[in-house]
Amino acid sequence: MLHATFWPSGTAAVRHLFFLPSLLLVGLVSFVPLGYALVQSFFRSKYFAIGRFVGIQNYIDLFTGDNGVGRVINTIIFVAGSLAIAMPLGIALALALNTKIWGRDLLRSILFLPWLISTLVAAMLWSWLLNAQFGPVAATAASLGISFPSLFTSPSLAMPTVVVVSAWYSYPLVMVFVLAALQTIPADLYEAAQIDGANALQRFAVITLPLIKNTILVSLVLTSLAAFNGVTLLFVMTGGGPIGRTETIALKVLQEGTKFYRMGLASAGSIVLFALNLAVTVAYARVLRGSHEGA
Amino acid sequence: MMLARRFSWFGFAKALFLAISAAFALLPIVWGLSTALKTPQEIAAIPPSWIPHEATLINFHRGVFTPRFFNYILNTVYVIFFSTLITLGLAVHAAYAAVRFRFAGKRLMLLTMWSTIMIPAVAIIVPLYQLAVACGIYNTHLVLVLVYSAWLIPSLIWLLEGFVAAIPRDLEEAAYIDGCDVVGAFYRITCPLLRPGLVAGALLIFTNIWNEFILSYVLILSDEKRLVQVGIYNFMTDSSIEWGPLMATAVGAIVPILVVYAFLQRSFVRGLTGGIVK
């Protein structure tokens, strides 16, 4: 109530002026293109002319057309694969870095490095590192008598390769988030549990895990959305090849819109991407709220 | 005795795990750096060597210290400067309003703002390109500044909200008693106290724009207007690809981020983890 007494003399206009410019710019750059994509997705558009109305044909083409099903599968493998490596790795590294070890600060900085490097540079470095003809890994393998396969042109190996690179720059975020959460856990909780006779595993299950659960969830959502929406890595390393084996929905949107100029199809893909982002975020908010109530 | 021994095995496994992970993290970076320091003859040598026999800076001379690459850097700095100005300027007001003010339609406005984070860049990149052409701002730095600012403002508001909430209200109330109005108190009392938050925010903006590739690739056409990342990509796709200078530019592009991170690590991590974990 004290606040009400002294509460600012600014008019309603002043208060709105603090918030509105941000909203205006963000809304303009976000919703106008999204609305434009929504409208365009119902038309067979090429280049800049809105073509004839085709109903949901673009959406049907996106999923049934050339490589339609494969693209969905690729997207799932790419996201799930990135998570399957980045999440356990990030969490394990955070747990290891949260203990007393020699050279901890240096190790943390080294392990954080991939996050500081742009996706473009990362894709470039890995491309050359793993190049079967000129790359050092292939040369080292050859000197040991192992023949190194051409990863980026192999239909079965291209996807696992890009997944590993995606995990390489995704795990540091998980690590930093979980480490920050771990450091907020007061040490006396563990001491009390130790006095009560809890072993290391029990202490982890009863104290650590519940307290970092939400942070893990947050980094899980951020990492999966980043993989889901990420195009730079695939664009630079494989361009969706070989024979469409690394083509995801996001990459398809980019290629249709900026290479083939089939704007209708690209827009349908845009709307699908947005819908999935929306679904993931809403589901995540539900889960997070649920876990807050449970706690 | 048993316990002590098992513990040391655990410690060994942990050290091994950390060492392998660190090698995994460093591998491509070390390779890039090693290549950038090699002579052209050694780069062409088969099999390639992991460590250069004689280190040279010639690739940096031919890749990074060229008028063309210098122009990319200049363009990037220019775009970052204006994006930071707009993003921080708008976000600090919005964050303050979100924490301290009550106004009509606030809930709806906040909801609208947050809902934009569910729109990924790749979903609007094609219409953005079309609209930029239609508005006559395609292939300008202006369109990048606008798009980058709009992209970063929600996260900056989120970050700064935490910093605003941490400032005791008593300070502003004291200013009101001294005759300050709400705007005066914000600029004179709150803003200076928000400096750590603004620094963390500026770092976040800098790293995000410096490392961004796909938006500037799609929205900028001419070489003299390109930003650093697209410039590097272009070196890569040039028909006469020269790995040495290319790797030098890649390593060169990492350096500013590393320097910033080395000096301002705490602000950096705070900016990254933001409101999630305090």
How does DSSP assign chain A, residue by residue?
A: -HHHHH-----HHHHHHHHHHHHHHHHHHHHHHHHHHHHHTTB--BTTB---B-TTHHHHHHHHSTTHHHHHHHHHHHHHHHHHHHHHHHHHHHHHHTS--TTHHHHHHHHHHHHHS-HHHHHHHHHHHT-TTT-HHHHHHHHTTPPPP-GGG-TTTHHHHHHHHHHHHHHHHHHHHHHHHHTTS-HHHHHHHHHTT--HHHHIIIIIHHHHHHHHHHHHHHHHHHHHH--HHHHHHTTT-STTTT--HHHHHHHIIIII--HHHHHHHHHHHHHHHHHHHHHHHHHHHHHHHH-
Q: For chain B, what percent of residues have pLDDT higher than 90?
A: 54
What number is the ipTM of this complex?
Answer: 0.88
Please give the residue that has the higher pLDDT: either B238 or A252: A252
Q: Is the Cβ of B45 closer than 8 Å to some Cβ of chain A?
A: no
Task: Tell whether the model's pLDDT for residue A182 goes beyond 50.
Answer: yes
Residue B46, CA atoms < 13 Å, CB-side half-sphere: 7
CA B140 to chain A, closest CA, distance in angstroms equals: 16
The residue in chain A having the minimum alpha-carbon distance to the alpha carbon of residue B26 is A110
Across the interface, of B24, B183, B258, the residue whose CB is closest to A10 is B183
Q: Is the Cβ of B246 closer than 8 Å to some Cβ of chain A?
A: yes
Q: Which long-range contacts (CB under 8 A, 24 or more apart) does A250-258 make?
A: A250/A75, A250/B120, A250/B122, A252/A62, A252/A71, A253/B122, A253/B123, A253/B125, A253/B126, A254/B122, A254/B125, A254/B126, A254/B214, A254/B218, A256/B126, A257/B125, A257/B126, A257/B129, A258/B125, A258/B126, A258/B129, A258/B218
Task: Tell whether the model's pLDDT for residue A246 goes beyond 90.
Answer: yes
Confidence of residue B260 (pLDDT cuts 50, 70, 90): confident
pLDDT, position B194: 92
pLDDT, position A37: 93
Task: Tell whether the model's pLDDT for residue A228 goes beyond 50.
Answer: yes
Distance of alpha carbon B104 from alpha carbon B253, whole angstroms:
46
Q: What is the CA radius of gyration of chain B?
A: 24
Strand partners, A46: A49
pLDDT, position A59: 92
A contact residues 123-152, partner B, Cβ 8 Å cutoff: 124-126, 128-129, 134-136, 139-140, 142-143
Any residues with CB less than 8 A from the CB of B28 and at least 6 apart, and which? A122, A125, A126, A129, A168
The residue in chain A having the minimum alpha-carbon distance to the alpha carbon of residue B87 is A22
Task: Tell whether the model's pLDDT for residue A295 goes beyond 60.
Answer: no
Question: Are the beta carbons of B181 and A135 separated by less than 8 Å?
Answer: no
Distance of alpha carbon A220 from alpha carbon A224, whole angstroms:
6
Residue B146, CA atoms < 13 Å, CB-side half-sphere: 20
CA B173-B176-B181 angle, 5° bins? 130
**Torsion angle of C-alpha atoms B239, B243, B248, B254, degrees rounded to 10:** 80
Across the interface, of A21, A122, A236, the residue whose CB is closest to B28 is A122
Which of B38, B115, B118, B122 is the best mutation test for A, with the most CBs of A within 10 A? B122
Contacts of B103 in chain A (CB under 8 A): 12, 15-16, 19
Strand partners, A53: A43
Task: Specify which of A251-255, B169-173, B272-276 reaches the highest per-range mean pLDDT.
Answer: A251-255
User: Containing H/E element for B227?
Assistant: none
| Stretch B201-210: mean pLDDT | 92
Asked if omega into B47 is within 30° of 0 (cis), the reply is yes
Of the candidates B100, B84, B264, B106, the one whose C-alpha atom is nearest the C-alpha of residue B189 is B100
Mean pLDDT, all residues of chain B = 88
Distance of alpha carbon A283 from alpha carbon A221, whole angstroms:
10
Contacts of B212 in chain A (CB under 8 A): 118
| Stretch A171-199: mean pLDDT | 89
| Stretch A168-190: mean pLDDT | 91
Task: Specify which of A8-12, A41-45, A130-134, A155-159 reaches the highest per-range mean pLDDT.
Answer: A155-159
pLDDT, position B213: 95
CA B202 to chain A, closest CA, distance in angstroms equals: 15
Number of neighbours of residue B170 by Cβ within 10 angstroms: 10
Please give the residue that has the higher pLDDT: either B30 or B11: B30
Distance of alpha carbon A41 from alpha carbon B210, whole angstroms:
32
Please give the residue that has the higher pLDDT: either B185 or A4: B185
Lowest mean pLDDT across A18-32, A33-47, A81-95, B16-30: A33-47
Across the interface, of A15, A27, A231, the residue whose CB is closest to B112 is A27
Question: Are the beta carbons of A92 and B17 separated by less than 8 Å?
Answer: yes
Question: Are the beta carbons of B123 and A14 separated by less than 8 Å?
Answer: no
pLDDT, position A220: 92
Strand partners, A43: A53
Task: Specify which of A48-57, A81-90, B117-126 reaches the highest per-range mean pLDDT.
Answer: A81-90
Any residues with CB less than 8 A from the CB of B26 and at least 6 apart, and which? A110, A113
Which of A45, A120, A267 is the best mutation test for B, with the most CBs of B within 10 A? A120
pLDDT, position B225: 95
Task: Tell whether the model's pLDDT for residue B240 goes beyond 80.
Answer: no
Please give the residue that has the higher pLDDT: either B80 or A103: B80
A contact residues 234-273, partner B, Cβ 8 Å cutoff: 235-236, 250, 253-254, 256-258, 263, 266-267, 270-271, 273
**Torsion angle of C-alpha atoms A115, A118, A124, A126, degrees rounded to 10:** 0
pLDDT, position B268: 65
Question: Are the beta carbons of A121 and B232 separated by less than 8 Å?
Answer: yes
pLDDT, position A18: 92
Summarised one tens digit per residue, pLDDT across range A6-31 is 445 467 788 889 999 999 999 999 99
How does DSSP assign B15-35, residue by residue?
A: HHHHHHHHHHHHHHHHHHHHH
